[in-house]
Amino acid sequence: MTYGLKLSLATAAALTLAGCDHDGWRGDHHADTAKIADDIKAREAQWNKDYADKNVSALAGVYAEDAAIASPGDPLATSGADRRKGLQSLTSDPNFALTFASDRVLVAESGELASSRGHYTITLTDKASGKPVTSSGSYLTVFKKDGGDWKAVEDFITPGPAPAPAAAAK
């Protein structure tokens, strides 16, 4: 190989490797995590409305294609059909009512993932007595950006006493 060709290849390789090093711009391109947290809270507000309206199509649309819902006493729902079936069963209960609110929203600096942890209250028909029963607990939902919208990819619901809301910052 001639010296000129070797020099050209070495220069091209150095420029290519330098172009792969993005550490220099990462610090200046963090996501607007406060805006994303607000987007997640708005998403959850709409989600509450969709539950109140028993809108199964809108509820199913909150989830990414590869999402999982872990509801107490139910098998893990990892397919669109299983998620829709669970949502339909839940919302078809005549006594069904659900409210939830986040106590903490965390957003990755990259803006690629976010999580919401909070509390819920749900009313369903007791199978034994036929009367409405209200319970509460906690949830953890992980979101990712999917086609321009924030979609839930993991949604875990845990019964029990709802945690105390996070103390307001002073």
Q: Which two tokens stand for residue 98?
A: 């659900």
140: how many CB neighbours lie within 10 A of its CB? Answer: 16
Question: What band does 167 get if pLDDT is binned at 50, 70 and 90?
Answer: low
Beta strands in 31-112, from DSSP E residues, in sequence order = 63-70, 97-107
The verdict on residue 166 lying in a domain is no
Residue 20 has pLDDT above 50, yes or no: no
Q: Which two tokens stand for residue 58?
A: 């809108």
Higher pLDDT, 19 or 122: 122
Q: Which two tokens stand for residue 82?
A: 């299983």
The verdict on residue 168 lying in a domain is no
Per-residue model confidence (pLDDT) at position 40: 95
Contact status, residue 115 vs residue 141, Cβ threshold 8 Å: yes
Q: How many structural domains compose the chain?
A: 1
- 74-98: average pLDDT: 96
The whole-angstrom separation of Cα 37 and Cα 33 is 6
Question: What band does 166 get if pLDDT is binned at 50, 70 and 90?
Answer: low
Read off the CATH number of the domain in which 49 is found. Answer: 3.10.450.50
The verdict on residue 127 lying in a domain is yes
The helix/strand count (H/E) of the chain reads as: 5, 5
φ, ψ (nearest 5 deg) of residue 11: -65, -45
The whole-angstrom separation of Cα 78 and Cα 14 is 45
Question: What band does 26 get if pLDDT is binned at 50, 70 and 90?
Answer: very low
Per-residue model confidence (pLDDT) at position 170: 44
The verdict on residue 136 lying in a domain is yes
The whole-angstrom separation of Cα 155 and Cα 90 is 15
The verdict on residue 25 lying in a domain is no
The verdict on residue 85 lying in a domain is yes
Per-residue model confidence (pLDDT) at position 148: 85
The verdict on residue 72 lying in a domain is yes
The whole-angstrom separation of Cα 41 and Cα 116 is 8
The verdict on residue 15 lying in a domain is no
Per-residue model confidence (pLDDT) at position 16: 41
Question: What band does 29 get if pLDDT is binned at 50, 70 and 90?
Answer: low
Quote the domain boundaries for residue 88: 31-159
pTM for this predicted structure? 0.77
- 82-94: average pLDDT: 96
